[in-house]
Structure 1
Amino acid sequence: MKKKFMFLVMLLTFGVLLAACNSDDGGDETEATGGDGEVEGEITVWAHPYTGDAEAEAKMWEEIIANYNEEFPDVTVNYETIPWANRDQKILTALAANNGPDVFYAIPDQMPQYADEGMLLELDPYLEDYDMDDFVDTALVSTTWQDKMYGLPILQEAYTFFYNVDVIEAIGEDPGNLPTTWEEFEDWAEKAKEQDKFALSYAGGGSMNGTIYPWIWQAGGDIITQEDEILINSPESVEAFEFINNMYEKGYIPEDSITAMEHDALWNGGEMLAVLGSGISLTNLLANEDFNFVIAPPLAKEEQVTYGTTGMFVVPSNSDNPDAAAEFVKVVTNADNQRNFNTVTQYIPTRESAKDIFDDQEYLSQLASYTQYALPGVIHPIGRTIMPLIQAEVQTMMEGKKSPQEAADAAATSIEAELAK
């Protein structure tokens, strides 16, 4: 709790400092011009290593920057790779000191925290005549806070079920006719149990994005809205609590699912019907030529939806060159540069037209088609901090100490307490 409190204090402090810096720089003079002014000068771009091939990434960034300079030759772009470790601290410290980047890479749980504190430049004025129709709608969810856009997305993931074909055949089902609903999946889960197989990997000690959140969304529920409406204990959301509890009580998921971080050994050993996975799962499976698998569309109850993170580029509100920075965000996320970026990184482009890079790759093409169903998580400033609180209540439920409704109500109370801070 102390660590979380200090982080929030730091955010608030930096927000005040940024406001002061903007005021010192002349107030309205730092506001977005929407690209009407002359774009020149210098910008600094921060991003992370996305692969283990530094040489390929360096070449990729050289080409992206060259594409930008074709359109804006009077802007010098300084690119820096920063490590993933302690990225929040590095970015916040740099921005507070007014010597941070003009463009940086952000993920869904960072954006609303920064935007809510006034630390990000609103991009809407720069997008008035910009074609946004090519972007996948779900990719834009993570870039928007309080109806204002603070970033443009460059990559997505889509988590869905990977099935072991051998287990499917062992339970007497057809790998060409996979479950599409909760009811159908439960039927397969029961048959898997009868064959002494687990139905699903459930890493209860991991991120809520990969455990109960997708089930909540599929049931038509939610966790918390951008208007601070708490929905985790709504009737729809409670259905997800009940579903997970039922799977655990019936032994459809492993006994250690309450705190497990992974079930790789069970899955790799052929003891499990399905896992929820994405691109990295595909890479691992393709490396094992003896593992026969199929990929299914996301399940549905009331809605067909799943989880998939989104990566975006944003501009800090105290950038010394907001026009050049905003234009860089637009260029780096255009279709051609997304093709380049995602060919190297093997993530899924957020532009439909750029997904053609996977046309000759059956499985990646299939995963790319599912980003239309992929929500990026809880888009709220407290989205990250409430995760362990909700997780604790789900775990308590699975231990048999609370009913699904009691666990959901307790989670709602915890979220309400966080909002009150």
Structure 2
Amino acid sequence: MKKISFLTLLLVIGLVVAGCSNDTSGGAEGEVGGEITVWAHPFTGDAEKEEEMWDKISTSFQEEYDAEVNIEIIPWANRDQKILTALAANNGPDVFYAIPDQMPQYADVGMLLELDPYLEGYDMDDFVDSALVSTTWKDKLYGLPILQSVDTLFYNKSVIEAIGEDPENLPETWKEFEAWAVKAKEQGFYATSFQGGGSMNNTLYPYIWQAGGDIVSADNEVLINGEGGVEAFSFINKMYKNGWIPEDSVTAMEQNALWEDGQMLAILGSGNTLANLQNKGKIDFVIGPPLKNKKQAAYGTTGMFVVPSNTDNPATAAEFVKTLTNAENQRTFNKVTQYIPARESSKDIFDEQPFLSQLASYTQYTLPGVINPKGRDIMPMIQAQLQAMLEGDVTPQEAADAAAEAIEGAVSQ
């Protein structure tokens, strides 16, 4: 049997959706009831606790709407292929979990149900603005957010004191961080982490946003080699050449050992980093705000639930997504998962957890990566140019220009 490529599956989905679009384009018609299937993933290592969480959420919905909800937990691995294959065969879920780089791919080929017609009278104002960026494609809403995360700098207090700085007065700008980086290098420490072999979401992109730039717009305008992009490439190059980031930063996937050995001033981390630090208890740390140059910004994912456009029960599926992401269920879900709620009012679950409360206050600055159907495709192209720059093969301007040329080729296909 021939292997079906991801692109081929997308095209198949487009045909499937086109074939059934007459059934789902009539707006929010239909009564809520019947049966739906929801695909979610394991969000923690505690399957029993998650099962209790889903039982609570689904039972309350079933009691209110006399509808049956089947929750199925599917693995993270190969989730794209599983979802696309099931929907192409017209036996997929009625609701499923998606992340920001999936949503525009699916929405652009007509795979997702537009939710706007189902939201009359629904409280949208409580959602964090940055979370809705991830669920919107071409001015239409295709999902409702359930969780967010924030990547920002975690500082080792012992190293701060060793370089003669104040852990209660952390850097807020590139200039201030650079001053600390110089002192850290003089005292034999690295300033921060940089995993050049990992996702651009955690490496290059935040610096581009902080410099006031962007990568590529939703309408395929390539921006990476603008002033902000070149400034970001230049700043990263400066950190590497000056030894502020480790020697293996060109291809590194992680640099936790250097951080855990006390050789690093700060590491870029998120809620998972916080959990690890609190569990191990070896490093006395403080969390800093996302840095800014022209703009304060950070990467942060958004998890959402979406409805495929070929569902047999769109009204019930849409209503379940609304219920799942209301303020109370955001509290239920994120108390268990320890992610940040995507509703402002639900962040009160962290009132007694200062570090998580601090991280939650930074979601206003987060961006979810590249919201474009080609977002995944262009990342390795950009990464190759970033790595070539760090290896000394090209200048920051040349790296940015080459990345722009590669992006233009990808989005024009």
Shorter-chain TM-score bucket reads over 0.9
Counterparts of 2:211 and 2:412, CA distance in 1: 28
Hey, what does 1:10 align to over in structure 2? 9
Match for residue 384 of structure 1 among 376, 380, 392: 376
CA contact (8 A) 1:32 1:322 kept: no
CA contact (8 A) 2:38 2:93 kept: yes
Hey, what does 1:30 align to over in structure 2? 24
Which secondary structure state, in structure 1, belongs to the residue aligned with residue 341 of structure 2?
A: coil
Once the two structures are TM-superposed, the CA of residue 32 in structure 1 deviates from its matched residue by 4.8
Hey, what does 2:154 align to over in structure 1? 162
Counterparts of 2:107 and 2:26, CA distance in 1: 15
CA contact (8 A) 1:18 1:98 kept: no
TM-score scaled by length of structure 2? 0.98
Counterparts of 1:286 and 1:211, CA distance in 2: 24
Hey, what does 2:291 align to over in structure 1? 299
Match for residue 42 of structure 2 among 42, 45, 49: 49
1:329 alignment partner AA: V
2:221 alignment partner AA: E
The answer to whether residue 267 in structure 2 is matched with residue 272 in structure 1 is no
Which secondary structure state, in structure 2, belongs to the residue aligned with residue 51 of structure 1?
A: coil
Instruction: Extract unaligned runs of 5+ from structure 1.
Output: none
Task: Show the 5 A alignment for 1:55-134.
Answer: 55-73=48-66, 75-134=67-126
Task: Show the 5 A alignment for 1:237-248.
Answer: 237-248=229-240
The answer to whether residue 188 in structure 2 is matched with residue 189 in structure 1 is no
Counterparts of 1:92 and 1:367, CA distance in 2: 34
CA contact (8 A) 2:250 2:390 kept: yes
Aligned residue pairs, count: 411
The answer to whether residue 398 in structure 2 is matched with residue 399 in structure 1 is no
Once the two structures are TM-superposed, the CA of residue 408 in structure 1 deviates from its matched residue by 0.4
Which secondary structure state, in structure 2, belongs to the residue aligned with residue 294 of structure 1?
A: strand
CA contact (8 A) 2:222 2:408 kept: yes
CA contact (8 A) 1:32 1:323 kept: no
Instruction: Extract unaligned runs of 5+ from structure 2.
Output: none
Which secondary structure state, in structure 1, belongs to the residue aligned with residue 267 of structure 2?
A: strand
Hey, what does 2:315 align to over in structure 1? 323
Give a deviation string over 1:146-168, Cα, whole Å, max 9, x none. Answer: 00000000000011100000110
Hey, what does 2:193 align to over in structure 1? 201
TM-score scaled by length of structure 1? 0.96
CA contact (8 A) 2:224 2:403 kept: yes
Counterparts of 1:289 and 1:346, CA distance in 2: 18
CA contact (8 A) 2:9 2:85 kept: no
Match for residue 224 of structure 1 among 212, 216, 223: 216
Counterparts of 2:64 and 2:389, CA distance in 1: 57
Counterparts of 2:32 and 2:26, CA distance in 1: 12
Counterparts of 1:200 and 1:250, CA distance in 2: 12
User: 342-351 or 7-16, which moves further after superposition?
Assistant: 7-16
CA contact (8 A) 1:160 1:276 kept: yes
Runs of 4+ in 1 over 6 A off after TM superposition: none
1:305 alignment partner AA: A
Match for residue 364 of structure 1 among 356, 359, 365: 356
